[in-house]
A and B are shown apart, each in its own frame.
Chain A
Amino acid sequence: MKSFARLAYPYMFWISIFIVLPMLMIVFYAFSTQGNDVLTLQFTLDNFKRFFSDPIFPMVLYRSLKIAFMTTIICLAIGYPCAYLIAQMKEKDQTMMILLITLPMWINMLVRTYAWRGILMSTDLSSEIKVLIGMVYNFLPFMIIQIYTSLAKMDKSLLFAAHDLGANKIKTFLRITLPLSIPGVIAGITLVFLPAVSSFFIPILLGGGEYVLIGNLIENYFVASGDWNFGSAISLIMAVLIMASMFLTKKLDYGNKEG
Chain B
Amino acid sequence: MYKFIKVSLCVLLLASTTACSKGEKNDFDPMETFGCDVLNVYNTGEYIGENTLSLFEETYNVKVNYSLFASNEMMYTKLMDNSQYDVLVPSDYMIERLISEEFLQPIDKDVITNMGAITPSIMNKDYDPGNVYSVPYFYGNVGIIYNTNNIDAADVEELGFNVFLEEKYKGQAYMYDSERDSFMVAFKALGYSMNTEDEAEIQAAYEWLLQVDENIEPAYVTDEVIDSIINEERDLAVVYSGDAAYMTSENENLAYYLPEGGTNLWFDAMVIPANAGCPSLANEFINFMLSYDVALDNSAYVGYTSSVEEVAQFLMSSEGDYFENNAYDARVDYEFDEVFVHNEVLKQKLADLWIKVKSK
- The chain A residues found within 8 Å of chain B, CB to CB, are 36, 54, 56, 59-60, 117, 121, 204-205, 208-210, 212, 217, 220-227
Contact = CB atoms under 8 A, between A and B. Distances in A.
20 contacts: A56-B359, A59-B359, A117-B224, A208-B220, A209-B219, A209-B220, A209-B222, A210-B220, A210-B359, A212-B358, A212-B359, A217-B355, A223-B73, A223-B77, A224-B179, A224-B351, A225-B179, A225-B348, A227-B348, A227-B351
B325 to A, nearest CB: 27
Nearest to B221: A209
Contacts of A220: 351, 355
B219 A36 contact: no
A56 B74 contact: no
Given A209-B220, A212-B359, A225-B348, 11 more contacts: A56-B359, A121-B233, A204-B177, A208-B219, A209-B358, A210-B220, A223-B71, A223-B74, A224-B178, A224-B179, A226-B76
B24 interface: no
Q: Which 10 A-B pairs have the closest CB atoms?
A: A209-B220, A225-B351, A208-B219, A209-B177, A212-B359, A223-B73, A225-B348, A224-B73, A212-B358, A56-B359
A174 to B, nearest CB: 43
A226 B179 CA distance: 13
A236 B175 CA distance: 31
Contacts of A36: 80
Contacts of B347: 225-226
B233 A226 contact: no
Interface of B: 71, 73-74, 76-77, 80, 175, 177-179, 219-222, 224, 233, 344, 347-348, 351, 355-356, 358-359
Interface of B, secondary structure class, is helix
B221 A208 contact: yes
Nearest to A222: B77
Contacts, number: 56
Nearest to A227: B348
A224 B182 CA distance: 14
A67 to B, nearest CB: 14
A56 B76 CA distance: 28
A226 B80 contact: no
A254 B355 CA distance: 41
Contacts of A222: 77
B355 A212 contact: yes
Contacts of B219: 208-210
A56 B351 CA distance: 13
Contacts of A225: 73, 179, 347-348, 351
A56 B355 contact: yes
Most chain A beta-carbon contacts within 10 A, residue among B77, B221, B344, B355:
B355
Contacts of A60: 355, 359
Nearest to A213: B359
Contacts of A224: 71, 73, 178-179, 351
Most chain B beta-carbon contacts within 10 A, residue among A36, A212, A222:
A212
A36 B76 CA distance: 13
A33 to B, nearest CB: 13
A120 to B, nearest CB: 12
A70 B270 CA distance: 47
Contacts of B224: 117, 205
A227 B351 CA distance: 10
Contacts of B221: 208-209
Contacts of B358: 209-210, 212
A53 to B, nearest CB: 12
A48 to B, nearest CB: 15
Nearest to B177: A209
A106 to B, nearest CB: 15
Contacts of B76: 226
Contacts of B80: 36
A71 to B, nearest CB: 20
Contacts of B222: 209
A226 B220 contact: no
A59 to B, nearest CB: 7
Contacts of A56: 355-356, 359
Nearest to A208: B219
B21 to A, nearest CB: 28
A210 B351 CA distance: 15
A217 B354 CA distance: 11
Nearest to A60: B359
Contacts of A59: 359
A224 B175 CA distance: 18
A183 B316 CA distance: 66
B207 to A, nearest CB: 16
A217 B80 CA distance: 21
Contacts of A204: 177
A250 B243 CA distance: 52
Contacts of B178: 224
A40 B234 CA distance: 49
Contacts of B351: 220-221, 224-225, 227
Contacts of B74: 223
